[in-house]
Copies of this chain bind each other. A is one copy, B any other.
Amino acid sequence: MTEFYSGVQKAFVSVDIIIFGFEDSKLKLLIGKRQMDPGRGEWSLYGGFVGAMESVDEAANRVLFELTGLRNLYMKQVHTFGAVERDPGERVISVAYCALINVKDYDRHLLEEHGVQWVELNKMPRLYSDHNDMVKRAITLLRRRINTEPLSFNLLPDLFTLTQLQHVYEAVLGEEIDKRNFRKRIKSIDFIEKTELIDKLTSKRGAALYRFNKQMYEEDPSFKL
């Protein structure tokens, strides 16, 4: 119960964002090469400092907006990293966030402008400082939650086929899923709606397009895949 402001050093607080996307049936990560010291030229997550007039959550959303031009994306705090020497320059404590975005929504110009690119999760290079640990934690979180929260839709367009949805699960969980069992479970979930629309791009026969009915989910937010 004893706290003193005096005699304690302040620290920089930053946010780093693990941005997952989904393309070609693979999980991808948005990373770039650091354009400044310390760590210039190393692969790194995208991040920024928490300003004086914004909460940490707001800072994360601002930084993500700067990078993607998108707001109201799915984003969750993952973990706070506070080793003394984690940043070689100053004492920086970083709060890691995990965001899910639909790759198609992303503005390719902004991507180049910020010097970031999509990299397959399986081919991820060594990253700056403790950023690899951040990614590892984010994946653990994702795997744990994908069966109890409707996360997967954030990685897909509004309309998607069941095969696409299944590929998201397979990419996140890193294992194959039986098609018939998967579809059986999906059918029992009310808020995944079949539409009348048909996707003809990926198959000759055409596949029914589905939609996540958010409103229906919120009325009865139970989920178990």
On A, residues with C-beta under 8 Å from B are 1-5, 8-14, 32-36, 44, 46-57, 59, 77, 79-84, 89-91, 93, 95, 114-116
Our pick among B1, B52, B89, B115 for the contact of A46 (Cβ within 8 Å) is: B1
| B residues less than 8 Å from A9 (CB atoms) | 51-52
Known A-B contacts A3-B36, A3-B47, A11-B11; the reply to A80 vs B56 at CB < 8 A is yes
Contact of A5 with B84 in the complex, beta carbons under 8 Å: no
Contact of A3 with B48 in the complex, beta carbons under 8 Å: yes
Our pick among B4, B13, B36 for the contact of A82 (Cβ within 8 Å) is: B13
Known A-B contacts A11-B11, A83-B55, A84-B55; the reply to A35 vs B93 at CB < 8 A is no
Known A-B contacts A2-B36, A14-B3, A34-B1; the reply to A53 vs B95 at CB < 8 A is no
Contact of A1 with B82 in the complex, beta carbons under 8 Å: no
Shortest 3 CB-CB distances between A and B: which pairs?
Answer: A56-B82, A10-B10, A9-B52
Q: How far in angstroms is the closest Cβ of chain B from A48?
A: 7
Contact of B33 with A1 in the complex, beta carbons under 8 Å: yes
A-B contact pairs, 30 of them (CB 8 A): A1-B34, A1-B44, A1-B114, A1-B115, A2-B35, A2-B36, A3-B14, A3-B49, A4-B49, A5-B90, A9-B51, A9-B52, A10-B10, A10-B11, A10-B12, A11-B11, A11-B13, A11-B50, A50-B93, A53-B84, A54-B84, A55-B82, A55-B84, A56-B80, A56-B82, A56-B83, A59-B82, A77-B79, A80-B95, A93-B93
Each complex incorporates copies of this chain amounting to 2
A57: nearest chain-B partner, CB-CB? B82
Q: How far in angstroms is the closest Cβ of chain B from A79?
A: 6
| B residues less than 8 Å from A89 (CB atoms) | 5
